[in-house]
Structure 1
Amino acid sequence: MEPYYGRLIGNFEEFAHGVSGIVYAVDETTIFIKGFKYDGMGPDAYFWVGNSPRPSPEGYIIPYPEDYVGREPPILRAHNSTDVILRLPMGKRIRDIRWLSVWCRRFTVDFGEVFIPPSLEAPKPRVLPEFKRLAHGLRSGNISILDAKTFYIPNLHYDGAGPDAYFWVGNGSEPSQFGIKVANEMGSLEPLRGYQGEDIEIQLPGNLTVYDIDWLAMWCVKYRHNFGHIIIPKDLDVPPALGQTKITPPWWYNPTSAKPPSPMITNCKEMLNRRLQIRWEMQGDLVRITLSARIREDQYMAFGLSGAQGRPQMIGGDVTVAFYDAELNSFHAVDYYMSHTAQCDGTSGVCPDERIGGRNDVVLISGERKNNITTIVYTRPLQTNEPVKDLTIPRKGEVNVIAAFGPLNSRKEANAHSITDKTTDDIRIDFSTTNDGNCENSLYENKEDDKIKPWPIQKIIGETVFSARIGPTGGKRGYTPITGHPSWGIAWWINDLLIPELYVERGQTYTFIVEGGEDTTNPAHYHPLYICDSSEGGFGQKSEADQKKQKVYAGVEYNEDGYPYPTAAGRYCEWEHKTVDRSAETETFTEYVETLRLNCDSGEAAIMNWTVPMDAPDLLYYQCYTHNNLGWKIRVVEPGYIAPRDGYNSASILGPSLLTVLVSTFFIF
């Protein structure tokens, strides 16, 4: 049976950059996109919503990721079948918008859109009565079902005197011994402590949902006694459980007795030469840990307790190995024990606890990978019942910790790491501390960008026939570093090269086979080619005054009323990413082309023949008629001579023969 994701809104209609995904209304303020795809090449793209008839600049951003700290969210990165949760800005509801778009603000281009059905009714949280008051001072505010797995219990009071009390769910007309334990708000299954007016959330275990139970109770297992309960109605229509709920109270609950949120705890330590950041917070019998590191997709990060006190020791260590599985687009946090430093053989070595007869006591909370940084949040108990494989985190006092990076093997298990990728210093943490923060932002400075060098400029010399298609810009190696101009994610590819410089001779005729798209109703697929003296292009979108600042040499004609129109568009052909943009990972342009595939619509190419005027200037440009900054330079030389005339460091004179030469240089001007 297909999981329930909420009310279906529809599928993204793609206009550019591979935008796709199935869109659902989770609740009145939350949208879920199943399998979102986008190549990440828009220079100023965001999730964008509005109430105009169609996507337009009259909209606003949905912040994503939601937890980004700053004045404005970052531009939308590449996604490959990612499940995305979007929360509308404060005060907005799905009923207030007509559409969701992937929108580029800089170029006012709609990359993909989906419209909200006018009659759509989003699932809603359900408010129930308070706990029935039977024993031990149990009372609460009205309990709410936030989603199919989550209860919100406000103003909870309980004296904590029950010897074996738990949150308890089951079936039948009233609570009984035939129920199931539900972990408390900290994720612990220890007997419940006392509560003094606290607001908490609890979640049903495993695959259990509110549709599977008849009641929620506080129950003493040892004495089979019901302290109080609520009955679950059968006519629920609550949101699906997709991780959209928060610890804070929902927008629709605002009791006068609501307490201010507790102060943020900011414990943080850097290890492995500041390449790994560890944040922690003790929560009852658990510790919540966040690991962040700049690592590759095929690497793990490990953190935990040293096998010896007073020094770092891998043997005997109890660590969590955390990693991102790119193949399954999933995150993992696994409990490991190290009997020695060899790879796990099924009985000893660096092994997952479960593989050597133990239990995985680590619980994954969340994971994220962006800007080459993997961040994974998990909890682990302070103490377990596995004394051989698990070490105890003291409630107070320092304990030695260790960390490492390394590659994953074919089993997705930790493999050997280099000597520089493990702890060698005596590092200690007191997990009970608060506001022990000494981390800097150095991890989040995109150091990889410093290593990304532009590809060499490519030239086509001696050809008389050019194919002109659309393709990606090559990220930090392509269009922008070569031209110095901003891009909106696509550019001209000539003879299957990204914005090469073309060398042409005065008086010679050249043929351009143009496949830039001819559908005028779809701006993202309409790119007529023309030749001009403007390094920006975009003649068709300019005012009459700005048009006069350009001189057009080919690809534009005028009708009888004196209005310009393009003459060279043709069917649409585009070099597309097979998955997501890999330009940062490919050292050479040839390698980059291997990550692409050519996709062409049906139809015919347009043909543009151009005879270079004898008085043409030395520098012209091939450009897009409808958009700025898609093309690049045309070098115009004298008949029979190919060498540039302005001291450009390139090929020498080749003579009148038509010889194709590809020359590379790093000089840009």
Structure 2
Amino acid sequence: MEQSSVWIKTRRQEQTESAAAAATTIATMSRSRITTYATATQGLNSIWSQLYAFVVVVVVALSLLLNCQVCQGAGRAPPEPYYGRYIGQFTNFAHGIKGSIYAVDESTLFVKSFAYDGTGPDAFFWVGKTARPSPEGYIIPYPEEYTGSDPPVLQAHNNTDIILRLPMGKRIKDIRWLSVWCRRFTVDFGEVFIPPGLDVPKPRVLPEFRRLAHGLRSSNISVLDAKTFYIPNLHYDGAGPDAYFWVGNGSEPNIMGIKVPNEVGSLDPLRGYQGEDIEIQLPGSLTVYDIDWLAVWCVEYRHNFGHVFIPKDLDVPPALGQTKITTTTTPRPVYSNCREILPNKLQVKWELQGEYVQIELFGRISEDQYMAFGLSGANGRPQMAQSDVVVAFYDSNARVFRAEDYFISDLSQCDGQRGVCPDERLGARNNVVVVSGDRKGGVTSIRYKRLLQTNEAIYDMPIPIDREVSIIAAVGPLNARKEANAHSHTASDHNPDDIRINFSKRNDHSCKNSLYDIKDESGPKPWPTLKIKGEQRFRASIGATGGKRGYTAITGIPSWGIAWYINDLLIPEITVERGLTYEFIIEGGNDPAQPARYHPFYITDSPEGGLGQKTGLEARKQKAYAGVEYDEDGNAIPTGVGRYCEWEHRTVDRSAEFDNFEQFKSTLVFKCEDGEPGYMNWTVPMDAPDTLYYQCFTHNNLGWRINVVDAGASTASTTLQLERNQLFFYMMLTVFSLVVTRSRLTNCLLA
């Protein structure tokens, strides 16, 4: 990434260099003119020489001023450091008030290097709209978050940087001054006045993501400040193997970009999104003034899934940490407590929050499993019976994360009265609130809150905070009702030893490794390989790869999120006969300007494909058997093109949930763009090798194997199998006849 960042030349640098070059050019021209003028006018009055020099200086100054204005109009970044629109300095009347005030946005002020001795008995930041500071004003609470009903009195500060948010929906245009004001004695310790008509920086609304691949779309994106993007209603199927938020310079997204952390600050490949509102921030010192676009980009396959351009006339608030919005995906808190209850399977993190305890469970579980954590049924030992636990899981039917309050009276299936039962089935309440959930890398994490003391006397135990308490934890299967299934536990799926936790304790952190770092040796079970024999007409379109169960498991090669579907099957093995002619109906795209939707179909001896990417010796290593023509210069030209059709995810990639392709296919929807399909006829050469591949001309690894057999061989095997079946049938019929005949003969003899 450090190498990539070198390639991003900021607009600020370009414009500064442009201004400097212009100034140098003008100054050089001016000196030349002065020299020429001096030579040509020797003997003239020196007053005229001085006057001319003065005019030249004025011209240079005006030119530089004009150039700066042009740069600013073209999107030149404000000078650094940038704190917003400058308002003025505090005027001090008492208690050493100092500080520079800036308008950050419509409702936020920034006080740079604020000083106050803290000895005023009832002093606050105070704003109003009277002619001068007066009792007819109101408090700006600082700090913004406080306990109790009244804002705290202003404390001493020495060169402190302070962010002030106007309360009650007020905006800077609604006030005329800011004061440090003592309410008790109605005294103004220091003041600054807001210039009338002050033009404050504002967030900028951009268009939505351009929709190019993998179902990427959003509502209008906003630049909230110089480092923060707000992306509402984000949709992305999550099937790209190496996709990231990506920023850079140039007329289109390209490989010379920089990764942007996702909404939780991670640089992991992007997961799927289903209409979520998220906020992302540019890394390091990078700002929106330094970039031309924001994209979702696949690094491994160098593909743009969609992007939005950044305008050059931005005037957005500075990034001072003032931007706080509520999104559907909130950042994960940093916990000081963590215990690994089940080795390599279950970790629990917790934090006391007033009358609540917030708990986050991390489990290496599948989507048909739960993880449970709570208070043991007997203090001093792990006991399931009579325990009070929370069962957390991902509901794959409703596509939501759940955490439910359970009371375990017996180790049996819940019958509505006894057993492993949700409190709600027992007529009580679910006193657990889900905060968030996530599932990635084989790890399910669910964060929830529970009151320390509920008013459920029978089914809920109080969580003590003055001592340790024995806990119980387990993982296990869900039943058809999406409830914890009663089952016999082993030592690996529940804690066999007594584990005690003091929930009020801090820095109880014994987790040595993250569950995300544990390699899943088993992995999902691959789907059976699909095959097509005896067909002479094939329809080739694009579709989802099926994750680790589909393309990757079948071919042993990582996919980039899409693959060929032949006759609506994911990369089936095709069997063809030498000498026969086959027809292909092609729907892989015909617009080279949209590379993510342009996949010319061709047949080759290369298991990788991508002939259009190859040059020189690399291109000559593979032979094209159909779908490619060559011009007079020997350049390969794809001919297997047609309208674009794709089997798309209805929501996100759910391939890990299903044991076969047909089940997975039910989660897809088939969509075609306007236009006509392409057609290709291919007569299999008599000297064709036994193995060929159908591939994409412009990208690697989208197709799979073609088995080439001699004429009649593909039907011969079928005929031979039929003959074997018939022979077996006749043999069984003969045996049956002999048994019946013997039975009749025996009956006759006995008679």
TM-score, length-scaled by structure 2: 0.60
Q: Check conservation: 2:264, 2:332, Cα contact below 8 A.
A: no
Match for residue 534 of structure 1 among 598, 606, 614:
606
For 1:12 and 1:20, the matched residues in 2 are separated by 6
2:350 is aligned to 280
Q: Check conservation: 1:471, 1:491, Cα contact below 8 A.
A: yes
1:45 is aligned to 243
Alignment CA distance shift 1:242-1:117 (3 Å): farther
For 1:564 and 1:542, the matched residues in 2 are separated by 10
1:77 aligns with 2:271: yes
1:555 aligns with 2:627: yes
For 2:390 and 2:318, the matched residues in 1 are separated by 37
Residue 516 of structure 1: SS of its match in structure 2?
A: strand
Q: Check conservation: 1:347, 1:356, Cα contact below 8 A.
A: no
Residue 580 of structure 1: SS of its match in structure 2?
A: coil
Q: Which has the higher helix share?
A: 2
Match for residue 28 of structure 1 among 226, 246, 258:
226
Tell me the alpha carbon deviations over residues 413-461 of structure 1, each in whole angstroms, 9 at most, x when there is no partner. Answer: x655434276664332233555544446584467766152333333323
Residue 642 of structure 1: SS of its match in structure 2?
A: helix
CA drift at 1:55:
0.9
CA drift at 1:11:
1.9
Match runs of 1:65-464 below 5 Å: 66=264, 68=266, 73-122=267-316, 146-147=323-324, 265-271=336-342, 275-282=345-352, 287-297=357-367, 300-313=370-383, 317-324=387-394, 331=401, 333=403, 350=421, 352=423, 360=431, 365-380=435-450, 382=452, 391-404=461-474, 417-420=486-489, 425-439=497-511, 441=513, 443-444=515-516, 450-464=522-536
Alignment CA distance shift 1:506-1:26 (3 Å): same
Bigger shift: residues 588-597 or 564-573: 588-597
Q: Check conservation: 1:337, 1:353, Cα contact below 8 A.
A: no
Q: Which runs of 5+ in 1 are unaligned?
A: 127-143, 148-238, 249-263, 644-650, 658-669
1:579 is aligned to 651
Tell me the alpha carbon deviations over residues 151-194 of structure 1, each in whole angstroms, 9 at most, x when there is no partner. Answer: xxxxxxxxxxxxxxxxxxxxxxxxxxxxxxxxxxxxxxxxxxxx
Amino acid paired to 2:380:
G
Alignment CA distance shift 1:359-1:39 (3 Å): closer
1:14 aligns with 2:83: no
TM-score, length-scaled by structure 1: 0.66
Amino acid paired to 1:9:
L
Tell me the alpha carbon deviations over residues 458-500 of structure 1, each in whole angstroms, 9 at most, x when there is no partner. Answer: 3323322222111222222222333233322212222222222
CA drift at 1:122:
4.7
Alignment CA distance shift 1:330-1:107 (3 Å): same
2:591 is aligned to 519
Q: Which runs of 5+ in 2 are unaligned?
A: 1-168, 170-201, 723-751
For 1:27 and 1:115, the matched residues in 2 are separated by 16
Tell me the alpha carbon deviations over residues 520-573 of structure 1, each in whole angstroms, 9 at most, x when there is no partner. Answer: 111111111122222222122221443222222221123345433111201111
Alignment CA distance shift 1:114-1:83 (3 Å): same
Residue 714 of structure 2: SS of its match in structure 1?
A: coil
CA drift at 1:281:
4.0
For 1:301 and 1:335, the matched residues in 2 are separated by 12
Alignment CA distance shift 1:242-1:98 (3 Å): farther
Q: Check conservation: 1:99, 1:115, Cα contact below 8 A.
A: yes
2:58 is aligned to none
Match for residue 628 of structure 1 among 684, 700, 714:
700
Alignment CA distance shift 1:423-1:637 (3 Å): closer
Amino acid paired to 1:418:
H
CA drift at 1:42:
1.9
CA drift at 1:576:
1.7
Alignment CA distance shift 1:625-1:347 (3 Å): closer
For 1:351 and 1:635, the matched residues in 2 are separated by 55
Residue 450 of structure 1: SS of its match in structure 2?
A: coil
1:466 aligns with 2:513: no
Residue 639 of structure 1: SS of its match in structure 2?
A: coil
For 1:390 and 1:632, the matched residues in 2 are separated by 57
Percent identity, please: 50
CA drift at 1:244:
6.2
For 2:452 and 2:606, the matched residues in 1 are separated by 67
1:58 aligns with 2:256: yes
For 1:580 and 1:438, the matched residues in 2 are separated by 35
Bigger shift: residues 49-58 or 111-120: 111-120
Bigger shift: residues 598-607 or 632-641: 632-641
- Structure 1 or 2, whichever has the larger Rg, is 2
Q: Check conservation: 1:26, 1:240, Cα contact below 8 A.
A: no
Amino acid paired to 2:209:
F
CA drift at 1:308:
3.4
For 1:301 and 1:46, the matched residues in 2 are separated by 30
1:481 aligns with 2:550: no
Amino acid paired to 1:20:
R
Alignment CA distance shift 1:120-1:48 (3 Å): same
Would you say how many aligned residue pairs link Structure 1 and Structure 2? 516
CA drift at 1:365:
4.7
Match runs of 1:595-610 below 5 Å: 595-610=667-682
Residue 428 of structure 1: SS of its match in structure 2?
A: strand
2:85 is aligned to none
1:589 is aligned to 661
For 2:707 and 2:416, the matched residues in 1 are separated by 64
Q: Check conservation: 1:371, 1:446, Cα contact below 8 A.
A: no
Alignment CA distance shift 1:355-1:86 (3 Å): farther
Alignment CA distance shift 1:6-1:470 (3 Å): same
Q: Check conservation: 2:228, 2:319, Cα contact below 8 A.
A: no
Tell me the alpha carbon deviations over residues 567-611 of structure 1, each in whole angstroms, 9 at most, x when there is no partner. Answer: 120111112222222322221222222222221222222111122
For 1:26 and 1:344, the matched residues in 2 are separated by 53
CA drift at 1:311:
3.2
2:78 is aligned to none
For 2:333 and 2:555, the matched residues in 1 are separated by 48
Bigger shift: residues 311-320 or 554-563: 311-320
Match runs of 1:638-649 below 5 Å: 638-642=710-714
Q: Check conservation: 1:7, 1:123, Cα contact below 8 A.
A: no
Alignment CA distance shift 1:97-1:353 (3 Å): farther
Alignment CA distance shift 1:8-1:315 (3 Å): farther
Residue 706 of structure 2: SS of its match in structure 1?
A: strand
Amino acid paired to 2:211:
E
Q: CA RMSD in A?
A: 4.0
Residue 223 of structure 2: SS of its match in structure 1?
A: strand
